[in-house]
Structure 1
């Protein structure tokens, strides 16, 4: 094992300094797909990733919710659970947690100071400087493997899968929730290409759980699983669910799987898509029961599923006026949001505030949402890749003209002023929705909940 010296003349003095060093790399270095730098980091750190049991979760949408279900149930079962998720909603340390508690500032500072000389050393090689996400991933692994020692680590990919920094691990089970239109400027210009990137997390002999559709996209996942001799459990084939009841904040479903069937499993998250996410999580837990001796009692499963919370996704953050937050930012997310708005919520008028990143498929998003809204307020997230609100307004007008529909469209680039406009428009029987990039959702949620600004970063 390579020794890492604590004495470093360029050590950070506070956790805030260490975090600033990490997140500052996002703007300087951006996203750097590839595993060479991660391989060097792990080797120089003594391969801490080999000491942990990972549940690796990828997917265009739903992976965060699926991770939340898995974490909640496993914790309710009495296991210590580490979780690594992105992006975070309020502050950097949210992304690295054990049993729902953020990594402590003192440990973060100590571990970053241990890692920094290695990062600087790698930066001098031909592979170049490790990115923000690579350092964050290595930090999480180091924390879990040398400080917290959780029984399981719920491990969410950042972008894609094959070349994502999280793919440095060899998990005990792999999950691919779905494949949709997102990050296509990096992952490929067809759903099959995106699927191939996400299938890159499939490891030899490691079971795979998925809800991927349609058939041609599923075929990509199935082909990779077969090549890797990884047993595939697919929604609609090896496992399935049926809806028993659907009420606000309380849905019930029956689960059927290869090992057993279960009746009346409850969840409190809203939207039909959450039943799919919960079923994927249950199948994953069933695989852990069969192959990993994970103990999941029925009553504990029910409790863990129902107590799952996932902030920023169909989250009602205010009741006077009613304000719903949802981080839908791609066409599939918008379709899911639209379905929930039509089936779960009742309202007089619907007022929608959105802010997007410049890289997203805005046309596909708006096509799903525009038929439902009475007021559309377009704003801009406080982030360097923000989408232009005026351009979004022009696009919305073009689409509305084709739909032969009129919607009151307002442009307010300052998101705080846009939020005040949204509130002023929303009467007692109306519903206000804030949607788009999670960078906007993060800011709005922190402002409404705590009257403070959120931190920024992936």
Structure 2
């Protein structure tokens, strides 16, 4: 019997992470035993290769600016597990998490007995905890982020009011498939009959999969670049500014505090989903709500400033599509600065290509390193990373990231940028160090 917060975390993290089967029957059975709490909720479902977290954050703040109470389910966490289940941006309390685990623990034990070695996974339990929490702590809207893929993700037992697919790129290929259409088909698995779909900036082959799936489900796709547009309106301040147009809605000079062209796409995708959702609920869409919601949005670990002079930032660009976006951001915003990058990624990522992509930016100096890695997942070692490129005078190696940090700080001037990037687990470690340097946890 779980009694303490640490015991609750041990129970959650002690489960298998992956026991994927091409079915949702186990999850449906699990939720039925818990009384199907998900059926009490009004939800927006968000899938995609990259941009899910930021899109969820923009949606949360748009809905809150409208006066709604908003639940969010996100992954992974940056500082503490509790962040994954939040209400109006406030993570679930330790005591509430313990109470939830106490509720699901006997049901998990029952399923373990029924299904032998095929009881609920860690993420299925996370999802169940979230559904139970928001059913017993009601909110107006729950924004649910898909864990992996879509079709067989444990969150996909829901029927949301709106489905969102942010981007499609090459990641988790061993699980989702090795081509864009195959990966798109997995993400399109969240499309439900008569539930409108909002897509971000997708390639033509990915969008074709969405349109075909939506047609079969008797619904329609609204896509960035085809049905709604975002136009960059550059300015000198931190963040991005853009014009937005969708059907009868158009606004100039919308401001966000998150940096990067892709964040404008994420904001526009969230805004379109918000408009669609409000129409279904007969809710209001006002310029004041839009401007307040977008300007307010912050998302830890997404080109987040940790220090101003010198400028130190972290970003969880954890796969090759994200590194392509990162390289574009650096060319656009930091072309006149020297950029020192400390990179640490998980071993199952395309680190060879990630290193090469960063080195296409001529003012980048790269220090490859490693971190401990979560659970059983290995981090790529510096030797593996350094072997990912031919001998290069802008790549060095450090045994661990604190050493890499010291090396970068010793070389850079006050006008330069130091960026720590790669795995979100690595970013979590770095952020904790900067935010709580005296906390040994």
Report the TM range for the smaller structure's normalisation: over 0.9
Q: In the alignment, what sits opposite 1:111?
A: 100
| Partner of residue 114 from structure 2, selected from 119, 122, 125 | 125
Aligned-partner SS, 2:234: strand
CA contact (8 A) 1:259 1:286 kept: no
Q: Output aligned runs, 1:5-16, within 5 Å.
A: 11-16=1-6
1:309 maps onto 2:302 in alignment? no
Q: In the alignment, what sits opposite 1:188?
A: 177
- Segment of structure 1 superposing worse, 150-159 or 294-303: 294-303
CA contact (8 A) 1:188 1:194 kept: yes
CA contact (8 A) 1:350 1:374 kept: yes
Q: Output aligned runs, 1:51-130, within 5 Å.
A: 51-126=40-115, 128-130=118-120
1:411 maps onto 2:401 in alignment? no
- Segment of structure 1 superposing worse, 197-206 or 242-251: 242-251
| Partner of residue 135 from structure 1, selected from 102, 125, 128 | 125
Aligned-partner SS, 1:124: helix
Q: How many residues align?
A: 435
Pairwise CA distance, 1:419? 2.3
Pairwise CA distance, 1:388? 1.9
Q: CA–CA distance in 1 between the matches of 2:404 and 2:239?
A: 32
Post-superposition, which runs of at least 4 consecutive aligned residues in structure 1 deviate over 6 A?
none
1:437 maps onto 2:423 in alignment? yes
1:211 maps onto 2:200 in alignment? yes
Q: CA–CA distance in 2 between the matches of 1:382 and 1:132?
A: 20
Change (3 A) 1:452 1:112: farther
| Partner of residue 286 from structure 1, selected from 254, 261, 275 | 275
Could you list the per-position Cα deviations for residues 108-149 of structure 1 after superposition, in whole angstroms to 9, with x for gaps in the alignment? 111111110100111122371211111011001100011x20
Q: In the alignment, what sits opposite 1:7?
A: none
Could you list the per-position Cα deviations for residues 48-82 of structure 1 after superposition, in whole angstroms to 9, with x for gaps in the alignment? 00000111000111111111100011111110000
Pairwise CA distance, 1:387? 1.2
Change (3 A) 1:204 1:452: farther
Q: In the alignment, what sits opposite 1:387?
A: 380
Q: In the alignment, what sits opposite 2:224?
A: 235
Q: In the alignment, what sits opposite 1:334?
A: 323
Gaps of 5+ in 1: 1-10, 401-405
Pairwise CA distance, 1:374? 4.5
CA contact (8 A) 1:347 1:431 kept: no
Pairwise CA distance, 1:173? 0.2
Q: CA–CA distance in 2 between the matches of 1:367 and 1:279?
A: 30
Q: In the alignment, what sits opposite 2:353?
A: 364
| Partner of residue 428 from structure 1, selected from 414, 429, 439 | 414
- Segment of structure 1 superposing worse, 166-175 or 212-221: 212-221
1:42 maps onto 2:31 in alignment? yes
Q: CA–CA distance in 2 between the matches of 1:448 and 1:216?
A: 42
1:170 maps onto 2:159 in alignment? yes
Q: CA–CA distance in 1 between the matches of 2:131 and 2:257?
A: 31
| Partner of residue 7 from structure 2, selected from 17, 21, 33 | 17
Q: CA RMSD in A?
A: 1.7
Gaps of 5+ in 2: none
Q: CA–CA distance in 2 between the matches of 1:453 and 1:202?
A: 44
Change (3 A) 1:254 1:374: closer
CA contact (8 A) 1:192 1:216 kept: yes
- Segment of structure 1 superposing worse, 192-201 or 244-253: 244-253
Aligned-partner SS, 2:68: coil
Q: In the alignment, what sits opposite 2:135?
A: 145
- Segment of structure 1 superposing worse, 285-294 or 64-73: 285-294
CA contact (8 A) 1:91 1:454 kept: no
Q: CA–CA distance in 2 between the matches of 1:97 and 1:198?
A: 24
CA contact (8 A) 1:179 1:213 kept: yes
Aligned-partner SS, 1:263: strand
CA contact (8 A) 2:199 2:224 kept: yes
Could you list the per-position Cα deviations for residues 275-297 of structure 1 after superposition, in whole angstroms to 9, with x for gaps in the alignment? 11111111111111221223232
Change (3 A) 1:193 1:452: farther
Pairwise CA distance, 1:250? 3.8
Pairwise CA distance, 1:30? 3.3
Could you list the per-position Cα deviations for residues 252-308 of structure 1 after superposition, in whole angstroms to 9, with x for gaps in the alignment? 222111242223222121111111111111111111122122323211210110110
TM-score with structure 1 setting the length: 0.91
Aligned-partner SS, 1:397: coil
Q: CA–CA distance in 1 between the matches of 2:234 and 2:84?
A: 33
| Partner of residue 334 from structure 2, selected from 345, 349, 365 | 345
CA contact (8 A) 1:248 1:344 kept: no
Q: CA–CA distance in 2 between the matches of 1:119 and 1:434?
A: 39
CA contact (8 A) 1:248 1:345 kept: no
Q: CA–CA distance in 1 between the matches of 2:295 and 2:304?
A: 15
Q: CA–CA distance in 2 between the matches of 1:143 and 1:187?
A: 30
Q: In the alignment, what sits opposite 2:432?
A: 446
CA contact (8 A) 2:84 2:91 kept: yes
Could you list the per-position Cα deviations for residues 138-165 of structure 1 after superposition, in whole angstroms to 9, with x for gaps in the alignment? 001100011x201000110111001111
